[in-house]
């Protein structure tokens, strides 16, 4: 397995996030990726590579150009307002909700931050754009690698910030650019007629669903916590099946808090059956390990040993695969759990 590692991920390091009514240290930290890297090195899993430059044209086919342009210049705008802002992160505080207009991009910076975001727990920092762009490059390069003649059957974008909550024109949930969606688009453009995205993170991949909801060439499957009680709350319900060309191309499998491995596995197997019925040519695995019983912000009950079986189940698809690193916040155990998935996948 090739592993494309983001060499500048640590440049995105948020100071604080809004969590349950107060500002707290960010749960999404550079240490997450370092634990994964260490676990992979110890077990000899994968060949590490750095990515090439991101394909900006492809980026703007997945995300809207005005959103990409905002992210690219947001920090510079923030500093231009007041040089003292260098000591602070950008957190949104106002949003255009029901009845407000979304089509006009205001000139006011705070209003633009709100236009392009959906929560106050996703700090934008001095290094966010550089880190997110390099992560996008990892995802695209992983997709190109498995698409190349004689290429590996699987590759991973080992990166942060994660991506699956980022939509066509919004960030949130620690995510800015949707690495899983970028990988899926790159696979399509490299020749795969049909691509499936299987999201196994605890939280629904709302951004990925939003990007592909009206498309028939990409099937999105997500096994996640019930959005009536779990973030991101406003998408992820079982009746969301896609629309127009994307009708019946979206499968949500929400599960209640406290779900254990056997029930979770039954839902995953249902999702994998949908991938087979779709006759996908390739698959993207949005790999979150916040389904772990020790995760501080999630409420499933998977144990570290269970992730070996998760890997075996995913391998059973027999498809060229791209893994993108998503959630997992029990930092010391994240590396073990990711390595177990990849080890199980490799057999």
Residues with catalytic roles: 165
Non-local CB neighbours of 133 within 8 Å, separated by 6+ positions = 54, 177
Contact 198, 166 (CB under 8 A): no
Say how many C-beta atoms besides its own lie within 10 A of residue 189's C-beta.
15
Residue 203 CA to its chain's centroid (Å): 10
Non-local CB neighbours of 66 within 8 Å, separated by 6+ positions = 105, 169
Separation of first and last alpha carbons in the chain = 12
Backbone angles phi, psi at 321, to 5 degrees: -135, 140
Non-local CB neighbours of 273 within 8 Å, separated by 6+ positions = none
Question: Cis link prior to 229 (omega < 30° from 0)?
Answer: no
Non-local CB neighbours of 215 within 8 Å, separated by 6+ positions = 245, 246, 249
Apex CA 294: angle with CA 20 and CA 335, to 5°? 110
Going by C-alpha positions, the residue among 316, 312, 297 that lies closest to residue 121 is 297
Whole-number Å distance between alpha carbons of 213 and 244: 8
Which 3 state secondary structure label does DSSP give 61? helix
């Amino acid at each position: 397995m090739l592993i494309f590692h983001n060499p500048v991920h640590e440049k995105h390091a948020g100071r604080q996030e809004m969590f349950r009514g107060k500002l707290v240290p960010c749960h999404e930290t550079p240490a997450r990726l370092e634990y994964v890297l260490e676990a992979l090195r110890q077990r000899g899993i994968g060949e590490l590579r750095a990515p090439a430059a991101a394909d900006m044209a492809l980026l703007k086919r997945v995300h809207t150009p005005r959103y990409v342009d905002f992210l690219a210049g947001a920090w510079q705008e923030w500093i231009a307002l007041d040089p003292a802002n260098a000591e602070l992160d950008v957190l949104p505080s106002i949003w255009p909700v029901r009845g407000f207009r979304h089509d006009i991009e205001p000139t006011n910076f705070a209003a633009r931050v709100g236009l392009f975001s959906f929560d106050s727990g996703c700090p934008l920092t001095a290094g966010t754009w550089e880190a997110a762009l390099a992560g996008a490059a990892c995802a695209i390069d992983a997709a190109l690698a498995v698409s190349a003649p004689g290429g590996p059957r699987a590759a991973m974008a080992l990166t942060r910030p994660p991506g699956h909550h980022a939509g066509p024109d919004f960030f949130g949930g620690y995510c800015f650019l949707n690495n899983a969606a970028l990988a899926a688009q790159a696979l399509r453009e490299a020749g795969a007629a049909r691509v499936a995205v299987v999201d196994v993170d605890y939280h629904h991949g709302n951004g990925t669903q939003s990007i592909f909801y009206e498309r028939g060439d990409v099937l999105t499957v997500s096994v996640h916590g019930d959005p009536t009680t779990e973030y991101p709350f406003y998408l992820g319900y079982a009746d969301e099946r896609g629309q127009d060309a994307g009708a019946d191309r979206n499968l949500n499998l929400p599960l209640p808090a406290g779900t254990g491995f056997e029930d979770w596995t039954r839902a995953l197997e249902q999702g994998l059956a949908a991938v087979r019925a779709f006759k996908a040519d390739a698959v993207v695995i949005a790999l979150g390990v916040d389904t772990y019983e020790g995760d501080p912000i999630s409420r499933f009950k998977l144990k570290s040993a269970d992730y070996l079986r998760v890997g075996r189940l995913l391998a059973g698809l027999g498809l060229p695969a791209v893994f993108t690193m998503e959630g997992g916040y029990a930092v010391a155990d994240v590396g073990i759990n990711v390595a177990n998935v990849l080890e199980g996948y490799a057999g």
